[in-house]
Amino acid sequence: MPDECPDVSSWIGLARQGDDEAARALFRHLYPLVLKLVRAHLPRRSSEEDLVQMVFTKVFSKLDQFSGTVPLEHWVSRVAVNTCLNQIKSENSRPEIRLADLSLEEEQVVQSLAATTEDVPASFAARDLVDKLLGQLAPRERLLMSWLYLEGRSVKDIQKSTGWSVPAIKIRAFRARRKLRQHLARLMGDSKS
């Protein structure tokens, strides 16, 4: 292997055979590099240590695939960066609202929702919270919820506009309401902790 100390080559061979000491030595050798790469590409909602652990899990589970034609550090760097990019892509495809992402007024709305069963008076903060919750839905679901509940359009009107069947509209609305309840429950759970 080019540009590697002889210990790394022997550690790789021994780690492939299941030697725990060699695996620990490889871990100690590669940890600063992996940590640096994870910090440089850290997704917003991911823990640094969780991602480092994911990278090392992949490295050790795929160590047999390391050909040795490039330095180990290059191969590990590629695994680390790809793990971070996949995590970013995953977070972007499934966005999530956290209590910390809300303004003080929106947080107060969530806390009052958690504390009472009565209706919360409409406010700009409540409207912003509704917009953020709707933003968690897929575009079709967001449109349907807006038409049904914010604009007060009828199912028949939505059917004419979209061409969707009445059962499809009702099923989509049911699923979207369930998703909104789940997102709100997560926020309310955050406000209690």
Q: Are residues 107 and 174 in the same domain?
A: yes
Tell me which of 132 and 67 has the higher pLDDT: 67
Instruction: List Cβ neighbours of 47 (8 Å cut-off, separation of 6 or more).
Output: none
| pTM for the predicted model, two decimal places | 0.47
Per residue in 49-61, pLDDT tens? Answer: 888 999 999 999 9
Domain presence at residue 1:
no
- Point out the domain boundary residue: 93, 114, 137: 93
Residues 105 and 174 in one domain: yes
Are 131 and 181 members of one domain?
yes
- Residue at a domain's end among 26, 60, 93: 93
pLDDT of amino acid 75 = 92
Which residue in this structure is represented by tokens 């897929």? 138
Residue with the bigger pLDDT between 10 and 116: it is 10
160/162 Cα distance (integer angstroms): 6
pLDDT given for residue 3 in this prediction: 42
Q: Which residue has the higher pLDDT, 26 or 137?
A: 26
- Domain assignment present for residue 86? The answer is yes
CATH number at residue 128: 1.10.10.10
Claim to verify: residue 113 and residue 70 sit in the same structural domain: no
Split into its structural domains, the chain has a count of: 2
- Contact between 166 and 154 under an 8 Å Cβ cutoff? The reply is no
**Shared-domain flag, residues 63 and 104:** no
Structural domain that includes position 68: 6-93
What's the pLDDT at 31?
93
Domain termination site, one of 46, 64, 93:
93
Is residue 119 located within the same domain as residue 89? no
